[in-house]
Structure formats: C-alpha cells, structure tokens
Amino acid sequence: MSLIDTAREVRENAHAPYSNFKVGAALRATSGAVYAGCNVENIAYPEGTCAEAGAIAAMVAAGDNEIAEIAVIADCPKPISPCGGCRQKIAEFAKGEVKVILTTLDGVTQETTVAALLPGVFDADHMSRV
C-alpha cells in the first residue's frame, strides 16, 4: 500500500466534530516501517492535534526516530500543507531533502521537501553555544 493510500485510509478515522475537516498522514521511517495518524479535535482544543503529529508520535512510540518520506491528504481543492507546528515537528525527525507528498482526495498532488516547507528551520546547531 502506498503512503497516500495509507493516509487516505487513516483519514477516515479522524475525530473532527467541530470542523468536519478530516486529515490523514502516513510516513515511512528509515527502517521501512510505515506509521499513520489522523487529526483529533476536542472541546477544549477545537483545532485539535494534527495528523502529522499523530504519525510522528506513532513512529517514536514504536522506537523509530527518522522519517524517510511523508504524505498528507485532505478533502480540499488544492493539496493540504502541514501547519507551522507540524512542519517543525517533521523537521525534527527528517533531513531537509526528505520528500513530502501533499494531496487531495481528488488526486491533485504536489511533491516538495522538508527544507522547502520550512526554510530557516530551528535545529540543534542554533543551541551549539549552550
């Protein structure tokens, strides 16, 4: 199953009672294992947690710590892009050249990289003097 197919499938499990906007994400770790996540909203935090964060949490919980590729899908007119917080989370676990696939349920797809999504990323080098 492709990352897009996995993201599409897990998207159906999203808990989005406030926005009704379901998002799915799937990533392949450098180990080859695939992890998926969907957005989860709640009354105290209606924006909820993002699909990408869920996939990363599943990866870390399983003992992997590096993303080789990631895909994100939603039902929208143009490819969905991760929010700023998720871009930083992705950058924490992926090298700049890692492929990011953004797509819609209609199949409109855009491929980019982690570095293109988050230029000027905050990383460990910024803290080299502490």
Q: Are strands 45-49 and 109-113 parallel, antiparallel or unpaired?
A: unpaired
Residue 23: both structure tokens together: 């998002």
Catalytic residue selected from 12, 41, 52, 92: 52
Q: Is 66 noted as a catalytic residue in this protein?
A: no
DSSP 57-87: HHHHHTT---EEEEEEEESSSS-----HHHH
Instruction: Looking at the chain, list the stretches that DSSP marks H as alpha helix, in order from N- to C-terminal side.
Output: 3-11, 51-61, 84-93, 114-117
Residues designated catalytic: 52
